[in-house]
Amino acid sequence: MSRPYRIVCVVAARPNLVKIAPLLAAFQPPQTQVETVLVHTGQHYDADMDAQFFNTLALAEPDFRLQVGSASHAVQTAEVMRRFEPVLDQLAPSAVLVVGDVNSTLACALTAAKKQIPVLHVEAGLRSFDRTMPEEINRVLTDQLSELLFTSEASGTSNLLREGIPPHRVHFVGNVMIDTLLGQLPRAPSTASVLRQAHLAGFIGDGAHYALLTLHRPSNVDDPRRLRALMTAMVKLSEDLPILFPLHPRTRAMLKQHELASLLDAPRIACLPPQSYLNMLGLMKHACVVLTDSGGMQEESTVLRVPCLTLRENTERPVTVSEGSNAIAGRDPAVILALCRDILRYGGKSGRIPQYWDGHAAARIVTATTNWLQTRRERRA
């Protein structure tokens, strides 16, 4: 039997898959009368960045694959819009649901808004106040285009209200990424088993300490001087603590292009290919410190209560610092090293878990969305 409402859900890049999984599950009948249609823009396409995540998260094959691939921001955004528009024409959905802040998030929100199709934004309101980050531009614009805005932390709500979004559109629901984490954590492997898979069995001894490092922000990896400084600091740190470093394809390419790949030969730095979701959870859970420029890992380490040092000058997720286990380390190698050594000596902060990061964010979003759909239908009748 056909259902009265249809919502097109968009995914594009690794973190989007982690965010959409609990939402698709929560919209399933008999909980709702909403039919979901999954559109994958193809921004991430390598098996390591994509297919593996579908398997682990038990996501159904997307209904549409737009296969946009990599390109400049303008071309990628334009190409998503060009390929998404006919999908909307064909489906005439009640709404389009987008998550996060990647280029495809904005592209699909803009395509829908121009067609008067309401946009629902999950993870709305986060602000780094740094417009040099492409994601900040995507966040601000997507929020301006959205009809319902779901925030993951209180700062998101206050940012939106300050930007003039009417309060009735904003719902503080918590963090869908944490819904997935709490569901999947029992399946996360040990570090020893991840290292065995990577043929690095002897790299760290049983139960030994290590740091987990990830880098992929253009502001860190595209500028050769910055990348060299950060990697030199990591080589120094590795003398105190072995480092596991899953390499994002952008970072691998930049290290090669800038002739910095030899820095990876340090004996106590182990490079790994992009890891599956469960492997990443296992590596994070058992690390003594996480060093990262990823937004998602700041949140995940907060819930795992593992100290995190963010290798950026700011964060759009301030609750991970004010309540969680995160600290902004910036990019100065001396500061990063000093903070790491403090954590090694004194243990670092474990923090507490923010409000509504409790595994029920998707259920709150589904309740707010179905209420909104019904009210809208009654008003139109």
Catalytic residues: 216
Looking at the Cβ atoms of 238 and 251, the one nearer to ligand UD1 is: 251
Shortest Å distance, C-beta 253 to ligand UD1: 6
The only residue of 5, 9, 14, 41 in contact with ligand UD1, by rule CB under 6 A:
14
Q: Do residues 165 and 149 lie in contact, with contact meaning Cβ atoms separated by under 8 Å? A: yes
Shortest Å distance, C-beta 20 to ligand UD1: 14
Which residues share a beta bridge with 308?
290, 326
- What is the C-alpha separation between 305 and 356, in angstroms, rounded? 16
Looking at the Cβ atoms of 104 and 369, the one nearer to ligand UD1 is: 104
- The residues in 73-132 that bind ligand UD1, with binding defined as CB under 6 A, are 101-103
Looking at the Cβ atoms of 75 and 201, the one nearer to ligand UD1 is: 75
- What is the C-alpha separation between 115 and 122, in angstroms, rounded? 20
Looking at the Cβ atoms of 218 and 330, the one nearer to ligand UD1 is: 218
Shortest Å distance, C-beta 251 to ligand UD1: 9
Looking at the Cβ atoms of 18 and 26, the one nearer to ligand UD1 is: 18
CA distances from 91 to 58, 139, 237 (A): 24, 26, 53
Which residues share a beta bridge with 98?
121
Q: Which stretch binds ligand UD1 (CB under 6 A): 13-21, 109-117, 118-126, 200-208?
A: 13-21
The only residue of 8, 9, 10, 13 in contact with ligand UD1, by rule CB under 6 A:
13
Q: Is 239 exposed, middle or buried (0-12, 13-18, 19+ CB in 10 A)?
A: exposed
**Burial call 173-199: b when 16+ CB within 10 Å, e when fewer:** bbbbbbbbbeebbeebbebbebbeebe
> Binding pattern to ligand UD1, positions 38-77, x when CB under 6 A?
-----xxxx--x--------------------x-------
> Binding pattern to ligand UD1, positions 210-249, x when CB under 6 A?
------x--------------------------------x
Enumerate the H helices of the chain as residue ranges: 14-27, 51-56, 73-91, 103-114, 134-145, 154-162, 176-184, 191-197, 218-221, 224-240, 249-257, 277-286, 295-304, 319-322, 333-346, 361-380
Looking at the Cβ atoms of 108 and 194, the one nearer to ligand UD1 is: 108
**262's tokens:** 């030899």
> Binding pattern to ligand UD1, positions 132-151, x when CB under 6 A?
--xx----------------
250 touches ligand UD1 (CB under 6 A): yes
Size of the site for ligand UD1 (CB under 6 A): 18
Q: Do residues 142 and 111 lie in contact, with contact meaning Cβ atoms separated by under 8 Å? A: no
- The residues in 253-282 that bind ligand UD1, with binding defined as CB under 6 A, are 253
**Burial call 102-123: b when 16+ CB within 10 Å, e when fewer:** bbbbbbbbbbbbeeebbbbbbb
Residues that bind ligand UD1 (CB under 6 A): 13-15, 43-46, 49, 70, 101-103, 134-135, 216, 249-250, 253
